[in-house]
Structure 1
Amino acid sequence: MSPAAPGDVPGEAGAPSTSVALDCAYFDAWRCRSCTLLATPYERQLAEQQARIEALLPEMPWDAPHASAVGGFRNKAKMAVAGSVDAPTIGILAADGSGIDLRACPLHEQPIVDAMPVLEQLVRDARLTPYDVPNRRGELKHLILTASPDGELALRLVLRSTESLGRLRKHLGLLDALPLASVSANLLPQHKAVLEGDDELLLAGSGVLEMRVNGIGLRLRPRSFFQTNTAVASALYREATAWIDEADPASLLDLYCGVGGFALHAARAGRPVAGVEVTAEAIDAARETAAAMGADASFTVGDATSVDLEGARAPELVVVNPPRRGIGELAGRLEASAVRRVVYSSCNPVTLAKDLAAMPGLRPVRGRVFDMFPHTEHAEVLVELERA
């Protein structure tokens, strides 16, 4: 099976056609139906997605949606491990808890697909017993592999305990064939439907994967969040930066800033920026990137919803990039503040609509859809708001 050629919106400079569908034997065989829209032509996916989002949100001018490659776009593989030590499956779990092997999933970037046979060998040689969900026994729960634009990889093994760490360390040489920047073990002793636990042990490498996006080397540590579609994320950052540059604010605050993507792109114009994020690991990474750039940027660990926005201390422009639940009470605080402009990046148009309704004093002036997750109804939406 092979992904089709990359696609983008017809008419956009240098954009190839989106008319070719993705060939996926897993989907055709009903082994995996996660890509619920895969049977829908990609141009139609985009058009229907745009119509759904426009119907949810207030009226505003819309730029043409930014499309994705239809295959080979995912920079992260979150793979459940099941089966046996000698015959592991690496993919997803069926409803009964058995494994469905998806190691050649055509959504993943090629370095991830190429690494899968080596990871299978590691499971077998290090005797990493796959976790049996129905019977609640075994050790290896997930393999999480992230690829950078430069072709480097970061590997995380989610384990039930430290029982297999000795064997794992003994066989790490198997991974020498892979361009790994980081290998870590995450400990998840509980039997619950989550991807990772609280404890992370670095086993090899620097513990940092550099994601070079639009010339900025964003640093990802094992628990850092980054968009799963690097090419579309790059376009999202470029668009937001263009809007910010047009507004030319004297001060900018990036809330839910993660590793600093929006703030550090905006900082390249020489303006001072600040960011707030609850995850200390992400803030450390943002500070390191800012120092490497020589940017006038400060980053703080904290709750984005409780940042001081009052009076003269209010920044002129605020960027928000919240999780799926939206910004909640922060919407009311932005509405009551002296903030003149908001750039809102949302992965959930439903909560975006709710948040916009709570900020009637901030008028939507333009929006654009970024298809971060082709073949599904999920999308990233960028909206610019200005004080009415």
Structure 2
Amino acid sequence: MVQLYESARKKQPPQKPLTLTIDELDHSGTGVCSTHQPVVFVEGALPGEEVRARVYERKKRFWRATVEQVLKPGAKRIAPFCPHFSQCGGCQHQHIAQLPMLEYKQQAVDQLLNKVGGVTALNWQAPLSGSDQGYRRKVRLALDARTGKGKSSVHLGFRAQGSDKVVDISECKVLTPPLQQLLPDLRSLIKGLGCVRHIGHISLLDADNQLQLCLRLTRPFPEMDRQALKAFSQEHGCTVLLQTEAQEFEHLTSDHQFASYRPVDELSLDFRPTDFIQVNGSVNRAMIAQALNWLDIKPGDRVLDLFCGVGNFALPMAHQGAEVTGIEGVQVMVEQARANALKNSLQAEFLQADLGDEDALTQLTTQLGQIGKVVLDPARTGAANVMPWLSRLNPAQILYVSCNPATFARDMGQLVESGWQVDKIGLMDMFPNTAHTELMALFSR
């Protein structure tokens, strides 16, 4: 067999940092230098600033970089409130206050929707926002307890930006106060467990009815560690769960009740540890109130809630007298939504269907009948497959809740081409200090 000779690849010398002036921010809050070719997206930079930036990704049409030094800071730059900000990947934008960042994000989203969706002169509403600290009621902590090669310490916290490295945090001011108070003793507990290496990750929850600690295990815990967890539960008044499989949980405490939250004052929704809920309780309630108001929900309205989860939108609408059908792809969440309707003595129908499957959508058309109003709250991938079907369903109004402006712009373009118009639109600051940008838009024909 012939063996071809291949010369060793030459080591590329380290690239020198660039000196750039930032022109604007994109919809994630990342600085943009459009005068450089190709355009450079610079993390941690603000409009008008001159920065020294290190490029970490080069594409044909754009580069990505991170700030090494701010040479000429902008007037809106502020000092971060967290001591871990420069290393931790949990927050990206503590270098600018909340309201100025929302203004920049709205400008960027407006430009994006104009460019991709072909829509101008949007009717922007005031953004929904709350406190930028103490808001996060649910969080997953990463854990690094590997040993060997001189490494024997345990790191508990969040992953560094663009890295698998776990930043060991001593505090996190974006967590709700009860979770902040739990963190120091939790660190001591975890680092003292004998089988700490068999913990995949740790979830914390500040529900309306309980504090919850959930450990994802890769193998069963020994009795000594189980007793330590029980003692922690009793001392801090929290529920402790051990997760061994995707939907299998062992309660270490006597309290086996579901965690719950209130989307509106009159309702309480239960959820499992793996069910999706919004992490920002106050903005979630404001979002629901705005949805009810924009759609003008009244008794007798026929409403379809797509990607309905455990009933976050559907059940408040049913509470106002609407005839609601919720569609969700995950069967266990459909079952939980039905249980929540029963718990709150509400009439609502919940069905399981794959909303990315055209055959399933066709079957739903016959099953649903005439629908007057639609709410959809898809994942970051959006709902491209649903858009043509919605046009055929022909409701009077569509309320689209998006956690990704890029996929929303794509989906909006389909609706506009089918004759829909954007009546109103507004940002929602569900994750302050981060690159996440969420929005709500109302469409009509």
TM-score, reference length from structure 1 = 0.82
Partner of 2:399: 343
Look up the SS of the partner of 2:424 in the other structure: strand
Task: Determine the C-alpha separation between the residues in 2 that align with 1:358 and 1:98.
Answer: 40
Map residues 87-106 of structure 1 onto 2, 5 A cutoff.
88-94=154-160, 97-106=164-173
Partner of 1:186: 243
TM-score, reference length from structure 2 = 0.72
Asked whether the equivalents of residues 249 and 317 of structure 1 are also in contact (C-alpha less than 8 Å), the reply is no
Partner of 1:169: 226
1:245-272 Cα deviation digits (max 9, x unpaired): 2577621111100110101111111121
Distance change in 2, residues 1:247/1:327 (3 Å): farther
Task: Determine the C-alpha separation between the residues in 1 that align with 2:390 and 2:199.
Answer: 44
Verify: 1:290 aligned to 2:356, yes or no. no
For 2:206, which of 147, 157, 164 is the aligned residue? 147
Asked whether the equivalents of residues 247 and 274 of structure 2 are also in contact (C-alpha less than 8 Å), the reply is no
Offset of 1:241 from its aligned partner?
Answer: 1.0
Distance change in 2, residues 1:186/1:311 (3 Å): closer
Look up the SS of the partner of 1:295 in the other structure: coil
Map residues 1-388 of structure 1 onto 2, 5 A cutoff.
23-27=81-85, 30-57=86-113, 58-59=119-120, 60-83=122-145, 88-94=154-160, 97-129=164-196, 138-149=197-208, 152-162=210-220, 164=221, 166-171=223-228, 172-180=230-238, 182-187=239-244, 198-204=246-252, 205-206=255-256, 208-215=258-265, 216-245=267-296, 250-305=301-356, 306-307=360-361, 308-309=364-365, 313-360=369-416, 361-386=419-444, 388=445
Partner of 2:25: none
Greater Rg, structure 1 or structure 2?
2
Task: Determine the C-alpha separation between the residues in 2 that align with 1:323 and 1:312.
Answer: 23
1:59-78 Cα deviation digits (max 9, x unpaired): 33111112221111111121
Q: Which runs of 5+ in 2 are unaligned?
A: 1-76, 114-118
Asked whether the equivalents of residues 225 and 258 of structure 1 are also in contact (C-alpha less than 8 Å), the reply is yes
Between the two proteins, the alignment pairs up a number of residues equal to 348
Look up the SS of the partner of 1:213 in the other structure: coil
Asked whether the equivalents of residues 207 and 221 of structure 1 are also in contact (C-alpha less than 8 Å), the reply is no
Task: Determine the C-alpha separation between the residues in 2 that align with 1:254 and 1:348.
Answer: 19
Offset of 1:53 from its aligned partner?
Answer: 1.5
State the Cα RMSD in Å: 2.6
Distance change in 2, residues 1:84/1:111 (3 Å): farther
Asked whether the equivalents of residues 341 and 362 of structure 1 are also in contact (C-alpha less than 8 Å), the reply is no
Distance change in 2, residues 1:26/1:258 (3 Å): same
Task: Determine the C-alpha separation between the residues in 2 that align with 1:20 and 1:240.
Answer: 34
Asked whether the equivalents of residues 421 and 443 of structure 2 are also in contact (C-alpha less than 8 Å), the reply is yes
Q: Percent identity?
A: 25
Task: Determine the C-alpha separation between the residues in 2 that align with 1:343 and 1:249.
Answer: 18
Asked whether the equivalents of residues 245 and 269 of structure 1 are also in contact (C-alpha less than 8 Å), the reply is no
Task: Determine the C-alpha separation between the residues in 2 that align with 1:115 and 1:24.
Answer: 17
Distance change in 2, residues 1:103/1:217 (3 Å): farther
Task: Determine the C-alpha separation between the residues in 2 that align with 1:21 and 1:41.
Answer: 9
Task: Determine the C-alpha separation between the residues in 1 that align with 2:412 and 2:195.
Answer: 48
Offset of 1:185 from its aligned partner?
Answer: 2.3
Amino acid at match of 1:359: L
Task: Determine the C-alpha separation between the residues in 1 that align with 2:296 and 2:233.
Answer: 44
Amino acid at match of 1:258: G
Asked whether the equivalents of residues 89 and 158 of structure 2 are also in contact (C-alpha less than 8 Å), the reply is no
Segment of structure 1 superposing worse, 88-97 or 286-295: 88-97
Distance change in 2, residues 1:252/1:246 (3 Å): closer
Task: Determine the C-alpha separation between the residues in 1 that align with 2:384 and 2:367.
Answer: 21
Segment of structure 1 superposing worse, 229-238 or 199-208: 199-208
Distance change in 2, residues 1:295/1:229 (3 Å): same
Task: Determine the C-alpha separation between the residues in 2 that align with 1:351 and 1:121.
Answer: 42
Asked whether the equivalents of residues 145 and 155 of structure 2 are also in contact (C-alpha less than 8 Å), the reply is yes
Asked whether the equivalents of residues 171 and 184 of structure 2 are also in contact (C-alpha less than 8 Å), the reply is no
Look up the SS of the partner of 1:261 in the other structure: coil
Asked whether the equivalents of residues 365 and 384 of structure 1 are also in contact (C-alpha less than 8 Å), the reply is yes
Asked whether the equivalents of residues 118 and 175 of structure 1 are also in contact (C-alpha less than 8 Å), the reply is no
Distance change in 2, residues 1:281/1:177 (3 Å): farther
1:208-266 Cα deviation digits (max 9, x unpaired): 11112321212121111011111111110110011222577621111100110101111
Amino acid at match of 1:127: G
1:92-135 Cα deviation digits (max 9, x unpaired): 24577553212411111111111123323432454232xxxxxx
Asked whether the equivalents of residues 81 and 90 of structure 1 are also in contact (C-alpha less than 8 Å), the reply is yes
Offset of 1:275 from its aligned partner?
Answer: 0.7
Distance change in 2, residues 1:282/1:156 (3 Å): same
Q: Which runs of 5+ in 1 are unaligned?
A: 1-18, 130-137, 188-196
